[in-house]
Structure 1
Amino acid sequence: MYKLNFFVPEADKERVKEALFALGVGRYENYECCSWETLGQGQFKPIEQANPAIGELDKLEVLPEYKVEMICKDELIKEAVKTLKEVHLYEEVAYEVFKMAEF
């Protein structure tokens, strides 16, 4: 089992979650569409050859973003990351993948 965490603006959060849920991400035994979300503040500054979906080159952008956490079966994690990168509006998606131990 893995945990997939990613950061996303509120306007795109549900669309990205639904694409991952459609793969089976966020499913555990008799539950599906499971996630944890926290609201925070993200920042980034597009430089050089960036093509930002939000913001301008060489200008610091600060905006509210959600951190979304989902569990993911081993056999789905590579497809989940691929899908996340395809459906997320950011040119460079900020995400984390953790291998979870079972006890």
Structure 2
Amino acid sequence: MGALVSRASRSARYTLVFHAEPQFVDTVKQAVFAAGAGRYPNYSECCWTATGTGQFRPVGAANPHTGAVGVLEKIEELRVEMLCDSEETARKAVEALKRQQPYEEPSYAVYKSENF
């Protein structure tokens, strides 16, 4: 029973994943790091980055940073993943991401995971 209580009392962790064009990624990462993301005990500014291709077609009343309404775009983007040690940190990191990311609709996801 003690092991269950101990495990249940540990807080969840979160992983923030976002996409950005290479020329914007360092600025966005610095804003998200400043909000508290990417920290482990004894480490800061930790993340994982991979290169890929983003695809989108702006429609309707879109005002895209890159591309034009009605035109299918395929652009090089970086996928960045980083730990957030609490829900509060994850929320602050997303707010920082939205302020710094130049996209009209920033591409991001937050995943909740157990802290074993």
User: Under TM normalisation by the shorter chain, which class is it?
Assistant: over 0.9
1:20 aligns with 2:32: yes
**Cα shift readout 1:10-62 (whole Å, capped 9, x = no counterpart):** 00000000001112210000000000001000110111100000000100010
Distance 1:12 1:40 in 2: 15
**Cα shift readout 1:51-92 (whole Å, capped 9, x = no counterpart):** 000000100010110000000121211111111111101100
1:95 aligns with 2:108: yes
**Which of structures 1 and 2 has the bigger CA Rg?**
2
| Structure 2: unaligned runs, 5 residues or longer | 1-12
Residue of structure 1 equivalent to 2:97: 84
RMSD: 0.7
Distance 1:51 1:72 in 2: 31
TM-score (norm 1): 0.96
Moved over 6 A (4+): none
Residue of structure 2 equivalent to 1:60: 72
Distance 2:92 2:44 in 1: 17
**Number of equivalences:** 103
Percent sequence identity is 43
| Structure 1: unaligned runs, 5 residues or longer | none
